[in-house]
């Protein structure tokens, strides 16, 4: 098992190296300069001034030199400084934003799992009942509704109309409610559908039929034999959804003004803040690599038949 983990981590390092090089290259190939964005349309600009600012901001060196310096610094735990917010370490910016995104996603996934698993199991148990139809219609809607639209509708309802919840910001529990709900809706829908179909499949297995034949009550059968085995595909999906955290949070964090990684990423793209973009992409490469590894390890824990070695 240990060998497997080490091998996977080494593979992950190669992936991260490729991702960082590709991102660095793509960003520098993209036309435009953060300096022009900061200069805007007011005031006079001279080429001498641009050259001087490029020197100050470290943008005057060739691409490969910038990449090697960056990589060397990363290996020492230094992600560099923001190009736009001069003097501010990228690590600080990313850490602050990451903590917000971790809170948002942890709460959202906990809510999604907490709601979707019972709903999926009950829908499978009471198959073709009104509850089953209602939950699956809800799941379809949950996948179909765009986060952006849902967020605005909730703000209109709870902030503008009822005035009971703040529509933006992050920090108080009241501010967390709406973005967490919006983040959770899609995942709840996906997990519930997955849990339902998985449960139905497990319920047709021989060992469940045997348990029934032995005269065990339905609830113990479901809790002891069905749920645990039905979880495997759902766990797989949860791991897969980690890769979508960034794209999901960009929308939600923008709508609700949450200062998380999604917002920071879109801001850094908008302002061409190369160092910050690079830091966030690297962080997500790490998250995806480790997320996939953890998913596989969880598989092994839940299903002893899987031999990772």
Partner 1 sequence: MADARDLEKILTSVPMNRRMLLKRAAILGASAPVIGSLLAACEDDDADDDEPAVEPDDDVDDDVEPDDDEPDDDVPADEEDRYGGEIVALGHHEIESLSPDDQGPTVHWTMITNIHDALVDVDWQFEIENELAREYEISDDGLEYTFHLQEDVLFHDGEPFTSDDVRYTWEFHADPDNGTIQHGNFMNVDSVETPDEHTAIVHMAEPDASLLRGACRIGIVPEHHHGEIGEDAYKSDPIGTGPFYVDEYSPAEFCRLAAYEDHWRGRPYVDFFTERIIPEGSVRTIELQAGDADVIVWPPVIDDVIEMLEDPNIRSYWCLTQSVNHISFNNTHEVLSDRAVRQAAFYATDRQQIIDDVFLGAAEVAHSNLVHTLEPYFYEDVHRYEYDPERAEEILEEAGWVMGDDGVREKDGVRCEWVCQVITGDQARLPQAEATQAYLAAVGINMEIEEAPFATIQENQREGNIGSGLYNWSHGGWMGEPDMSSELHSGARNNFHRFYNDRVDELIEEGLQLVETEDRVPVYHEIQEIVADEAAFLYFSFWEWYGQWSTRIQGLPEETDGQQTSNLLLHVRNYWIDPDQR
Residues that bind partner 1 (CB under 8 A): 30-33, 35-50, 52-57, 84-88, 97, 152, 155-156, 159-160, 163, 166-170, 254-257, 259, 263-264, 266-267, 270-272
Return the number of the residue (179 or 239) whose C-beta is nearest partner 1.
179
DSSP conformational letter for 84: S
Dihedral Cα 59, 15, 95, 242, nearest 10 deg: 130
Alpha carbons 290 and 241: distance in angstroms, whole number:
13
Shortest reach from residue 280's CB to partner 1, in Å: 13
C-beta separation of 83 from 273 below 8 A: yes
Return the number of the residue (160 or 217) whose C-beta is nearest partner 1.
160
* CA 193, 238, 266, 13 torsion-angle sign: negative
Alpha carbons 272 and 274: distance in angstroms, whole number:
6
Return the number of the residue (168 or 218) whose C-beta is nearest partner 1.
168
Shortest reach from residue 49's CB to partner 1, in Å: 5
**How many residues appear in the chain?**
309
Shortest reach from residue 173's CB to partner 1, in Å: 16
Return the number of the residue (149 or 244) whose C-beta is nearest partner 1.
149
C-beta separation of 60 from 54 below 8 A: yes
Shortest reach from residue 254's CB to partner 1, in Å: 5
Return the number of the residue (78 or 270) whose C-beta is nearest partner 1.
270
Shortest reach from residue 20's CB to partner 1, in Å: 22
Alpha carbons 63 and 209: distance in angstroms, whole number:
64
C-beta separation of 299 from 236 below 8 A: yes
């Amino acid at each position: 098992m240990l060998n497997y983990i080490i091998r996977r981590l080494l593979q992950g390092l190669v992936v991260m190296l490729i991702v960082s090089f590709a991102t660095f290259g793509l960003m520098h190939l993209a036309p435009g300069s953060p300096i022009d964005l900061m200069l805007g349309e007011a005031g006079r600009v001279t080429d001498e001034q641009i050259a001087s600012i490029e020197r100050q901001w470290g943008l005057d060196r060739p691409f490969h030199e910038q990449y090697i310096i960056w990589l060397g610094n990363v290996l020492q735990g230094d992600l560099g400084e923001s190009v736009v917010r001069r003097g501010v370490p990228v690590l600080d910016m990313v850490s602050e934003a990451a903590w917000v995104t971790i809170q948002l996603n942890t709460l959202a996934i906990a809510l999604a799992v907490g709601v979707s698993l019972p709903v999926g199991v009950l829908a499978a148990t009471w198959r073709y009942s009104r509850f089953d139809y209602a939950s699956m219609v809800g799941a379809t809607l949950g996948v179909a509704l765009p986060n952006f639209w849902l967020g605005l509708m909730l703000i209109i309802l709870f902030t503008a109309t009822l005035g009971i919840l703040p529509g933006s910001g992050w920090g108080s529990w009241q501010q967390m409610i709406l973005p967490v709900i919006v983040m959770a809706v899609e995942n709840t829908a996906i997990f519930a559908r997955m849990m339902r179909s998985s449960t139905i499949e497990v319920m047709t297995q021989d060992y469940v039929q045997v348990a029934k034949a032995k005269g065990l009550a339905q609830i113990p059968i479901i809790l002891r034999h069905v749920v645990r085995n039905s979880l495997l595909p759902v766990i797989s999906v949860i791991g897969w959804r980690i890769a979508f955290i960034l794209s999901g949070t960009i929308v939600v964090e923008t709508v609700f003004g949450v200062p998380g990684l999604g917002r920071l990423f879109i801001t850094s793209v908008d302002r061409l803040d190369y160092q910050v973009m690079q830091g966030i992409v690297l962080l997500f490469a790490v998250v995806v690599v480790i997320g996939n590894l953890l998913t596989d390890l969880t598989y092994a824990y839940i299903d002893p038949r899987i031999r990772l070695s």
